[in-house]
Amino acid sequence: MTTAPAPPRPLRIPDPTSPRFVFFALHGRVSRRTFWLFGVLALLGLGVLGHALLGIAGVSQDHADAIVNLLLVWPAIAVSAKRWQDRNRSPWWVLVALVPVVGWLWALVDNGFVRGTPGINRFGAPPEH
């Protein structure tokens, strides 16, 4: 007696506003609104909270800076990469922030103020929010 193969599982598309998708996935696109809420405000808040908790724990300021930066670097890269993709640019544009003096300003202006490409681009459908 043979058994029928299991039906294929439906494709699960992640919620584009879930923190898991926004902070950890490198694929897809996010809107300017999501960039400001998650990529700037939330990460800034988490950084302040991390510094406060590490200060209470008696960790030196230098070590607290290193720990907080290490914990927040991947979420910052993920949000910025998706924002570059919304502009139909390679996620490697994240590296522009490493350009001395003007790199972080360029990344902030391009990610935070310039509208994404309308419609579907090579990185997927436009963000809903």
Q: Would you state the pLDDT for residue 10?
A: 54
Angle value at C-alpha 115, between 129 and 106, nearest 5 degrees: 120
Per-residue pLDDT tens digits for 36-48: 999 999 999 999 9
110 to each of 23, 33, 86, 103, 113, how far by Cα in Å? 19, 13, 11, 11, 6
Of the pLDDT bands very low, low, confident and very high (cuts 50, 70, 90), residue 21 is confident
pLDDT, average across residues 78-98: 95
Provide the mean pLDDT of the chain. 89
Percent of the chain past pLDDT 90, that is, above it, reads 76
Lowest mean pLDDT among 5-9, 95-99, 123-127: 5-9
Lowest mean pLDDT among 16-20, 28-32, 42-46, 77-81: 16-20
